[in-house]
Amino acid sequence: MLPSSQRKHQTENREKRLKDKIQLLEAQVEELELEAAAAKKRPALSEEHAQLHRRLRELQRRHNEFRRLLLGSQGVFGLAPLTSSATPAPLLLSEGLLSNDPDADFSVLRRRLENLESAQQQQLEELGSLVQKEAAPQPDL
């Protein structure tokens, strides 16, 4: 038989090892809980990513439409949509639409907007005259 002090020491060592094992298992459980929480968040992140991607595509489409309106029928953007990877500056520079002078660029854009406004006004007048012709009583033949 072992003396009581030795038995006490063995019991204390066993208790210490078991406590260490419990702490290790608790840490593993906590780590797994964190991983599970992160896994639950991932679908929300992928949904958010998809939503942001759709919004980006919509904004790019609207941006391209606006550019086409501003630049008119020069054909620079008429063939393919502008994506975030495309760089329109070389095309615009080669077409003579953009320069290094911002004032000149604004002048080109202002002139284009004035042309659009006058074309729109002309279309409005033509539409108004068509409406007046249709609204006028026509004599019976």
Residues 14-33: what's their mean pLDDT? Answer: 95
Q: 10 Å Cβ neighbour count for 57? A: 13
Tokens representing 117? 């406004």
Cα gap 76→74, rounded to integer Å: 6
Tell me the pTM: 0.32
pLDDT tens string 74-126? 544 444 444 444 444 444 444 455 667 888 888 888 898 899 899 899 888 88
**Per residue in 41-80, pLDDT tens?**
777 777 888 889 999 999 999 888 888 887 765 544 444 4
Rama region for 59: left / alpha / beta (φ>0; ψ in -120 to 50; rest) = alpha
Count of helix runs (H) and strand runs (E) in the chain: 3, 0
Give the number of residues written for the chain.
Answer: 141
From residue 71, alpha-carbon distances to 26, 77, 88, 96, 124 in Å are 65, 8, 12, 11, 21
Q: Which of 87, 86, 85, 109 is nearest to 97 (CA)?
A: 109
